[in-house]
Structure 1
Amino acid sequence: MPFAVHMELDPYAAAELQPIVEHMERISPDVVTPRRLKAEPHISLAVYDGLDPEPLTNALDRFSADMHAPSVKLSAIGLFPGPASVLFAAPVVSEELLILHRNFHVAAASAGAACWPHYLPENWVPHVTLGEQLSPEEAGAAISGATGLWQPVAARLHRISLVRFHPVELLWHRQLPG
């Protein structure tokens, strides 16, 4: 089972994205959404195919010990195209967000786990997944409907978590002060 380290949006920001998530769920019963996974909307910092969670939780403890909840502005929607497309909300890629991501990977290196290449610094496209496993036809309907529902969202990344998925199982988390 894969593992992910992600930072969850605050509940108010997550609620602002719900109309788009509901739209995704109306498109098809096969579309995967955060709600269907019983996961909070989030930005993933890393995904791993397999690892020993203990060294990574130790690294996460050290990394997040003095961390405060960073702010992000979700400014656009986007699509990772393909036979199983992903609709996402895109944050403004700030220097603060890139530094946080890079510093996480420096801290996590001590855990000895191999991260998926597209989550590594210089490859990472920060995003909040709103719907995935979209066929090409569903992707068109998703982007069309989401465009009409979209509004920029100011958010705080209020919690950092380590999860195992599917199904999503919370292994470690830290609430971050505002």
Structure 2
Amino acid sequence: MSVAHRASACRTSFCSRDESSFVTPQQTIKHPPPNRWENLIFARIHVLRGWLARETAVPHFGEPMSLAINIRADNDPAGEIERLWDQVGAFEAKPSMRALGYRPHFTFAIYDGPAVDQQVAWNAMLAAVAGETQLRIEFRRIRWFEGSPLVLWAEPVVDRALARIHSAVSAAIDPAHCRPHYRPGAWIPHCTLGTAVAGERCGDAIAYARGFDRSFEVTFDTVDCVSFPPVRILAERRLPS
């Protein structure tokens, strides 16, 4: 997720069964035929059970899991960034950011190991934004991270609030548990525009970034903790305006 940001969580799944409902082959139980309303109720119960199974499923042991804590833009002005996604997507074999199903964001930390669980990460995020309001961030340039694949991102004008939140998160959770690029001294605030620029289009993508010559502002109004892949919001809070 941006610059490919990732995350993960653990939930309890529960199931219940009534032992008295089991019958032996010798037993015969007669039931009255269900009426229309009973059929409707049973159908809705079936749908509800399916939803609960998805929402409360516990990942299989050994599944790679990651957690990310972010601030995202859940509003119409975020369309400014999303339009840039589409432009950068033209340099990718498959547009990467639309595929996430997630809004424009800044990521403060990504945790891959079991040492930091969902609650610890979320508590750190909430403490870091205590007293903060929604962030109005200005962008003037598009930059890139070298590598294969090439990653393009929107560079924010220096914002003390972003740095302050990142510092608070790093103080709350040992940065040794965090991915190296998100540790103090290495973290670069960036709003990702594309994470999979094809090799043969790198020159075109860099020329596009260098030619970007306008400024715009986006309000980042919601903090969250997500797991991925795929991106799943585990906890979120809208900041006061």
Q: Which deviates more, 87-96 or 139-148?
A: 139-148
Conserved? CA contact 2:91–2:197, under 8 Å: no
Q: Which deviates more, 164-173 or 45-54?
A: 45-54
Structure of larger gyration radius: 2
Q: What residue in structure 2 maps to residue 138 of structure 1? A: 201
Counterparts of 1:9-88 in structure 2 under 5 Å? Answer: 9-33=73-97, 35-50=98-113, 51-88=116-153
1:64 deviates by 3.0
Percent identical: 31
Q: Which deviates more, 95-104 or 24-33?
A: 24-33
Q: What residue in structure 1 maps to residue 55 of structure 2? A: none
1:101 deviates by 1.4
AA aligned to 2:66 is P
Q: Which deviates more, 40-49 or 144-153?
A: 144-153
1:67 deviates by 2.3
1:143 deviates by 3.2
Unaligned runs of 5+ in 2: 1-64
The structure whose RCO (Cα within 8 Å, separation 6+) is larger is 1
Q: What residue in structure 1 maps to residue 56 of structure 2? A: none
1:166 deviates by 1.5
Size of the aligned set, in residue pairs, is: 175
What's the TM-score once normalised by structure 1's chain length? 0.85
Counterparts in 2 of 1:113 and 1:161: CA distance versus 1, 3 Å: farther
d(CA) in 2 for partners of 1:56 and 1:123?
19
**Root-mean-square deviation over aligned CA pairs:** 2.2
**Superposed CA offset, 1:91-137 (max 9, x none):** 0123332222111222344xx97111111121111000000122332
Which runs of 4 or more aligned residues in structure 1 lie more than 6 Å from their structure 2 counterparts after TM superposition? none
Counterparts in 2 of 1:94 and 1:73: CA distance versus 1, 3 Å: same
**Superposed CA offset, 1:55-112 (max 9, x none):** 2223333333432112221121001011111000000123332222111222344xx9
d(CA) in 2 for partners of 1:31 and 1:84?
13
d(CA) in 1 for partners of 2:76 and 2:213?
15
Unaligned runs of 5+ in 1: none
Q: Which has the higher strand share?
A: 1
Matched, 1:166 2:229: yes
d(CA) in 2 for partners of 1:105 and 1:135?
34
